[in-house]
């Protein structure tokens, strides 16, 4: 009949995610299970101080007695991601010959991406915010999301996801990644569909080089000018939606100019930013 334990309340789950650095305390990967340090059958409650994030492998090792309590206690006090400042890399295995991006209500479709080709559904200056490319028969996704100080908080490079542990909350549930800057403040929500070669970003508030972009399910808004892009579709275009000082030769269904806000740059993550090379 089971122990009929009540579900863990959302605020408790969030507190545990924050303390554990949004990943397994042993290895840092963001796909995890919440486990009780002292079994629930003994404590009969969901005390956040008694809860820990463990990936399936390390959860299994704990259950089998292969993960010594001393090692788990040390990792719980000093989680892997808390020590490194970023999550351990998590592969997202995209496949297919074509690709699709949905950003707000704007669709960008490339039915067949030949080897060595790339397409950029969202571009700010020379920085691809979303990019697909094909190499050696593999479909590779890049996503780069920045805060108002140009610090990169989420980066996917060639299907490998890494995020900062600085945000208020990060939740990777199923195929959905949600990053929050505070209560009810969604920095970004994206849905991965690797088997369908599609990525959807339906909520977000991201920046790059002083350009501010708000993403809603039905539109994309470039601030502070409040330029709205809604319901656009691009097929077989190198570029989709672009703004700022974009490289020559990057065409797309929409180029929208906008003002830049003054910003104090944090260049700590700049060396890892992928950029498009300006054509001669």
- The pLDDT tens digits for 151-198 are 999 999 999 999 999 999 999 999 999 999 999 899 999 999 999 999
Burial category of 160 from C-beta neighbours within 10 Å (exposed 0-12, middle 13-18, buried 19 and up): middle
**Could you give all domains of the chain from N- to C-terminal order, each with its CATH number?**
10-84 (1.10.30), 90-272 (no CATH)
Which range is least confidently modeled, 5-9, 57-61, 90-94, 252-256?
A: 252-256
Does residue 259 sit in helix, strand or coil?
coil
Whether 94 shows a pLDDT value over 80: the answer reads: yes
Angle value at C-alpha 273, between 85 and 181, nearest 5 degrees: 50
Interatomic CA distance for residues 118 and 250, integer angstroms:
11
Structure tokens, 219: 């539109």
Average pLDDT, the chain: 93
Residues 39, 45, 51, 54: is their CA dihedral positive or negative? positive
Burial category of 49 from C-beta neighbours within 10 Å (exposed 0-12, middle 13-18, buried 19 and up): exposed
Question: pLDDT band at 63, cuts 50/70/90?
Answer: very high
Does residue 116 sit in helix, strand or coil?
coil
Question: pLDDT band at 277, cuts 50/70/90?
Answer: confident
Question: pLDDT band at 2, cuts 50/70/90?
Answer: low
Q: What is the mean pLDDT of residues 8-15?
A: 96
- CB-based contact 100:107 (threshold 8 Å): yes
The confidence score (pLDDT) of residue 34 equals 97
Strand boundaries in 87-164, DSSP class E: 90-91, 99-103, 106-110, 118-124, 127-135, 138-146, 152-157, 160-163
The confidence score (pLDDT) of residue 267 equals 82
Phi, psi (deg, nearest 5) at residue 170: -130, 130
Structure tokens, 246: 């974009």
Beta-carbon count within 10 A of 56 CB: 12
- The pLDDT tens digits for 107-140 are 999 999 999 999 999 999 999 999 999 999 999 9
The confidence score (pLDDT) of residue 211 equals 95
Q: What is the mean pLDDT of residues 234-239?
A: 89
Structure tokens, 133: 């490319």
Whether 280 shows a pLDDT value over 60: the answer reads: no
Angle value at C-alpha 191, between 276 and 208, nearest 5 degrees: 35
Q: What is the mean pLDDT of residues 82-98?
A: 95
Residue 138 CB partners (closer than 8 Å, separation 6+): none
Does residue 69 sit in helix, strand or coil?
helix
Beta-carbon count within 10 A of 13 CB: 18
Indicate the DSSP class of residue 223: E
Phi, psi (deg, nearest 5) at residue 5: -70, 145
The confidence score (pLDDT) of residue 1 equals 44
Interatomic CA distance for residues 135 and 197, integer angstroms:
15
């Amino acid at each position: 009949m089971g122990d009929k334990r009540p579900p863990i309340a959302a605020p408790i789950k969030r507190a545990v995610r924050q303390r554990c650095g949004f990943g397994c305390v042993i290895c840092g990967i963001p796909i995890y299970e919440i486990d009780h340090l002292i079994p629930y059958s003994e404590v009969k409650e969901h005390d956040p101080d008694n809860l820990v994030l463990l990936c399936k492998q390390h959860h299994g090792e704990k259950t089998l007695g292969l993960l010594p309590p001393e090692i788990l206690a040390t990792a719980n006090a000093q989680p892997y991601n808390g020590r490194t400042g970023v999550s351990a890399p998590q592969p997202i295995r995209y496949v297919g010959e074509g690709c699709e991006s949905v950003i707000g209500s704007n669709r960008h479709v490339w039915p067949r991406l030949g080897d060595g080709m790339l397409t950029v559904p969202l571009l700010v200056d020379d920085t691809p915010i979303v990019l697909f490319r094909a190499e050696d028969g593999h479909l590779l996704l890049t996503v780069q999301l920045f805060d108002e100080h140009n610090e990169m908080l989420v980066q996917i490079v060639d299907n490998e996801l890494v995020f900062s542990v600085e945000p208020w909350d990060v939740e990777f549930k199923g195929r959905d990644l949600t990053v929050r800057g505070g209560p009810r403040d969604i920095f970004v929500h994206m849905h991965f569909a690797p088997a369908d070669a599609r990525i959807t970003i339906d909520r977000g508030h991201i920046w790059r080089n002083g350009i501010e972009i708000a993403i809603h399910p039905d539109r994309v808004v470039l601030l502070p000018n409040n330029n709205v892009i809604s319901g656009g579709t691009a097929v077989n275009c190198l570029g989709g939606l672009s703004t700022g000082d974009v490289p020559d030769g990057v065409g797309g269904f929409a180029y929208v100019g906008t003002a830049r806000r003054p910003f104090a740059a944090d260049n700590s993550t700049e060396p890892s930013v992928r950029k498009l090379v300006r054509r001669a």
